[in-house]
């Protein structure tokens, strides 16, 4: 079997006008009650089986509309000691249930010294079967080289994140080079991306910084979180994040899709929200042409 190539799958989805990535971030408290009630055994609710059913329904309802899925490690690790199994199940479901070749981004934000990173590489791509992973640049290229060497995988580097406190370090000025986030963007574009498999994370909550990074990195793809619950503006994110071909960006959404409804129509509501976002993105792109 030919190994899945993240960039090829991503570009194929873009060619179909799909730019929305659904974050698979299961919050057990927000899962519809009717699903949780089905998994009650002697007064104990099996979180993992309820989450599995919930995510299977979300994937089945949206797979033809998305450019990627992005399970976040923290939400699975916090479920129970079986959270890793549920995470692997979610990734396997994308591959088996999805009617289209949809890539999987493992949102793990890994980084450590080189020896440890080799273990993270095997975990992400060997055990879980992810097509891409988010990493922190803090340890430098030498340490993250085991990730960069995975030529068929997407290596998504944190650059200017969407959280309110991101400016504490990311906006600090480096003499002669500008803010730290721009230094990260420059290094990824000029030094790290020799295999053409790097992407950057830049939040929709800072549209000026997003435009700045796009100007620095050329057509390197950008993963854009912060739309929806975090208050980022979709139109600004698309206009500032798109590349020279009007593509090159991934709009990540999670809560607004997963929990669009708490009733039995939750999957249909999730699909409707992704459709709404796709239509809104298309309108921005058409207006920008």
Strand pairing of 222-224 and 249-253? Answer: parallel
In contact, 76 and 84? CB cutoff 8 Å: yes
In angstroms, rounded to a whole number, what is the distance separating the alpha carbons of residues 69 and 254?
A: 10
In contact, 133 and 106? CB cutoff 8 Å: yes
- Rg of the Cα atoms in the chain: 19
70, 109, 153, 247: the catalytic one is 109
In contact, 270 and 26? CB cutoff 8 Å: no
- The alpha helices in 173-241, defined as continuous H runs, are 180-187, 207-217, 234-241
Residue 228 region by backbone torsions, left for phi larger than 0, else alpha for psi between -120 and 50, else beta: left
In angstroms, rounded to a whole number, what is the distance separating the alpha carbons of residues 16 and 13?
A: 5
In angstroms, rounded to a whole number, what is the distance separating the alpha carbons of residues 144 and 155?
A: 10
For residue 209, give the nearest of 186, 241, 177, 254 by alpha carbon: 241
For residue 7, give the nearest of 263, 241, 256, 223 by alpha carbon: 223
109 is catalytic: yes
| 23: β partners | 70
Residue 178's Cβ-side half-sphere holds a number of Cα atoms within 13 Å equal to 11
Catalytic residue numbers read 109
């Amino acid at each position: 079997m030919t190994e899945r190539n993240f960039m090829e799958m991503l570009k194929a989805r873009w060619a179909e006008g799909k730019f929305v990535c659904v974050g698979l971030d299961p919050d057990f408290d927000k899962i519809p009650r009717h699903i949780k009630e089905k998994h009650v055994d002697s007064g104990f609710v099996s979180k993992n089986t309820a989450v599995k059913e919930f995510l299977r329904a979300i994937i089945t309802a949206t797979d033809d509309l998305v450019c990627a899925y992005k399970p976040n490690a923290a939400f699975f690790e916090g479920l129970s000691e079986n959270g890793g199994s549920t995470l692997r199940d979610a990734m396997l479901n994308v591959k088996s249930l999805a009617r289209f070749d949809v890539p999987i981004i493992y949102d793990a934000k890994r980084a450590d010294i080189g020896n440890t990173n080799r273990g993270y590489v095997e975990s992400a791509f060997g055990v879980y079967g992810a097509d891409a992973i988010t990493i922190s640049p803090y340890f430098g290229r030498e340490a993250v080289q085991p990730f960069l060497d995975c030529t068929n995988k997407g290596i998504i580097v944190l650059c200017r994140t969407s959280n309110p406190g991101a400016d504490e370090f990311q906006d600090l000025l480096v003499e002669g080079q500008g803010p730290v986030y721009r230094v990260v963007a420059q290094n990824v574009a000029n030094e790290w991306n020799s295999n053409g498999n790097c992407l950057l994370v830049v939040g929709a909550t800072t549209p000026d910084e997003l435009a700045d990074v796009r100007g620095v990195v050329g057509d390197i793809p950008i993963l854009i979180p912060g739309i929806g619950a975090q208050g980022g503006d979709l139109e600004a994110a698309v206009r500032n994040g798109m590349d020279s071909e009007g593509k090159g960006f991934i709009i990540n959404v999670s809560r607004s899709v997963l929990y669009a409804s708490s009733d039995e129509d939750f999957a249909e509501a999730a699909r409707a929200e992704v459709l709404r976002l796709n239509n809104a993105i298309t309108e921005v792109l058409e207006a920008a042409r």
